[in-house]
Amino acid sequence: MTQPGHPTSSDWMQFVYNDVSIEQKSELEAHLDQCSSCRSDVDRWRAAMSQLDQWSLATAQADPMSARHATMHINSLPSSGRLVFRPQRATLFAASTACVLLAFLAGRSLTSAGVVDTVALRADLKRELVREIRADLAVSLRGEIEPLLKAQLASLKPDASSLLPLIETESSRIAAATVASWAQQDSAARAGMQQMLAGVLENQLSLRSDLETLAMQAEAQILRTRRELLRLAATTAQDDGAPLIEAPDGDDRSM
Amino acid sequence: MSVAGRVSPAAVMSDEAVMLLVCARDDAGAFGELVVRWQQRIQNLCLRLTASMHDAEDAAQETFARAYAARSQFQGQAAFSTWLWRIALNATIDLQRKQRPRETDGNSPDDALSRDQEPSLAAEQTESVQAVIQALQQLPDDIRTVVVLRHYEGLKFREISDVLGVPQGTVCSRMTDGLNRLAVMLRPAAHGLSSHSASEPRP
């Protein structure tokens, strides 16, 4: 029962549990210094509090396995008959990251009364979650695709090495075929040229023969003509008694 | 829960943020993080209220089951801790009500310690601790609840007021009454510690 002029029991309860401001604490301590009745009450309460302190229990957080075990029983309890509980781990990497963000966003979203502004929190969460998910997915894709590409490239290497003999064989075949083709073409050209040269030579030989023949004929005609002239000259001289044309020296061929 | 070497979300995420995530995604895995954080404290609360390890475990499991089932009701207007404490208290009360018909005297000191034949709870405790356990069990339920929440769980009086839905003055009044009763019940031991009574205020 609070006495007039004394702090209330609420004041003392907050005092003994250190739930007062510095100013209030000073005032209450000053009152205790002057009031044996309140001092006795405070001492009695603190003694009881000290007794209560003897019953200490573990305060450490539960390990994840025990927590998972505890939550596995949720759907087995009568009050949760409608509950479908599927213990699952946060498989999404980004969800965990988002959870980290939520801690800071929740702090930013606290109103002056200490109540969480859920609207602002959810808006911030959406923006940050999208950004973080994109970044984390990009990292994950690079981390997954790059090894995959490397593995595929490594698997392709044997195929490339096995193709080399085929490539070499084919190249050789093509080269040989090309050389053969060139050789064939060259032979044909050579034969044609040879044939042409042979024809030319034949023509030349024929022409030479003809020219020789003509030359012989011409020479023979010239001789005949000279002889005729000589005969005519001789005939005339016999008629006149003097030669008109002297026979060339050494030319004593008779008609 | 850590992923690929990243910082564990549980280390920095607030309870309200986790619960909102649970509500948004029906994410039981995220709810598991809350269980990891709160299971020991909830179980301690239930143990101090029931003085029975078996009942405390049942009440704790019931608490989280109810919390998950009622996750859609958590809108963030109140702190998650306030919401969870309230569920835990109701679960404990309901459990005790179910068990009360089987008890000859729910507040008997002998019953408090012999319930379910829990040798571990009694055997580990000294006489002074046993006296404390008995004294708490002899308090009325509403007073015992305030004493446990304030003294053992460290809730401020205004937080207890939010949890119980009663004015802060009522909470302080119940606490005063509880300490007065405990001082009387624990008087022999209290006298033995009188030299330490002028201790510093509790944090």
Q: Which two tokens stand for residue B191?
A: 């006298």
B71 touches chain A (CB under 8 A): no
Residue of B nearest to A10 (CA): B172
| pLDDT greater at residue B201 or residue A155 | A155
- For residue A149, give how far its alpha carbon lies from the nearest alpha carbon of chain B (Å): 22
A86 near A114, Cβ under 8 Å? no
Predicted confidence band of residue B107 (pLDDT cuts 50, 70, 90): low
Q: How many CB pairs under 8 A join A and B?
A: 235
| pLDDT above 60 for B83 | yes
Rounded Cα gap, residues A174 and B88, in angstroms? 88
- For residue A172, give how far its alpha carbon lies from the nearest alpha carbon of chain B (Å): 55
**Tens of pLDDT, residues A157-171:** 666 667 778 888 888
**Predicted pLDDT at B12:** 64
Measured between beta carbons, the chain A residues lying within 8 angstroms of B176 are: 9, 12-13, 45
Residue A86 backbone dihedrals phi, psi, to 5 degrees? -120, 95
| pLDDT greater at residue A46 or residue B198 | A46
Share of chain A above pLDDT 70, in %: 67
Mean pLDDT computed over every residue of chain B: 81
- For residue A160, give how far its alpha carbon lies from the nearest alpha carbon of chain B (Å): 37
- For residue B9, give how far its alpha carbon lies from the nearest alpha carbon of chain A (Å): 5
Rounded Cα gap, residues A212 and A19, in angstroms? 150
**Tokens 């927590």 appear where?**
A67
| pLDDT above 90 for A45 | yes
**Which residues 6+ apart lie within 8 Å of B27 measured at CB?**
A88, A90, A95, B21
**Which residues 6+ apart lie within 8 Å of B57 measured at CB?**
B43, B46
**Predicted pLDDT at B124:** 66
**Predicted pLDDT at B2:** 42
Helix (H, G, I), strand (E, B) or coil at A83: coil
**Predicted pLDDT at B78:** 80
**Predicted pLDDT at B19:** 86
**Predicted pLDDT at B45:** 96
| Partner-chain residue, chosen from B151, B172, B198, that has the shortest CB–CB distance to A10 | B172
Measured between beta carbons, the chain A residues lying within 8 angstroms of B61 are: 70, 73-74, 77
Predicted confidence band of residue A114 (pLDDT cuts 50, 70, 90): low
Measured between beta carbons, the chain A residues lying within 8 angstroms of B151 are: 17, 49, 52
Share of chain B above pLDDT 70, in %: 74
| pLDDT above 70 for A255 | no
| pLDDT greater at residue A115 or residue B125 | B125
DSSP letter assigned to residue A110 = B
Rounded Cα gap, residues B14 and A209, in angstroms? 125
**Least confident window among A34-43, B69-78, B137-146:** B69-78
**Which 150-169 residues of chain B touch chain A by CB within 8 A?**
150-152, 156-157, 168-169
A50 touches chain B (CB under 8 A): yes
- Average pLDDT on A89-111 reads 47
- For residue A148, give how far its alpha carbon lies from the nearest alpha carbon of chain B (Å): 19
**Predicted pLDDT at B154:** 94
| pLDDT greater at residue B156 or residue A151 | B156
B70 touches chain A (CB under 8 A): no
CB contact under 8 A, A118 and B20: yes
| pLDDT above 50 for A120 | yes
B10 near B1, Cβ under 8 Å? yes
Rounded Cα gap, residues B36 and B68, in angstroms? 14
**Least confident window among A88-97, A208-217, B146-155:** A88-97
A93, with CB counted inside 10 A (0-12, 13-18, 19+), is middle
**Tens of pLDDT, residues B4-47:** 444 445 446 788 888 888 888 887 888 888 899 999 999 999 99
| Partner-chain residue, chosen from B40, B126, B183, that has the shortest CB–CB distance to A47 | B183
- Average pLDDT on B134-155 reads 96
The CA-based angle A226-A228-A230, given to 5 degrees, is 70
**Predicted pLDDT at B159:** 94
**Predicted pLDDT at A133:** 78
**Predicted pLDDT at A158:** 61
DSSP letter assigned to residue B193 = T
- Average pLDDT on A233-242 reads 80
Predicted confidence band of residue B198 (pLDDT cuts 50, 70, 90): very low
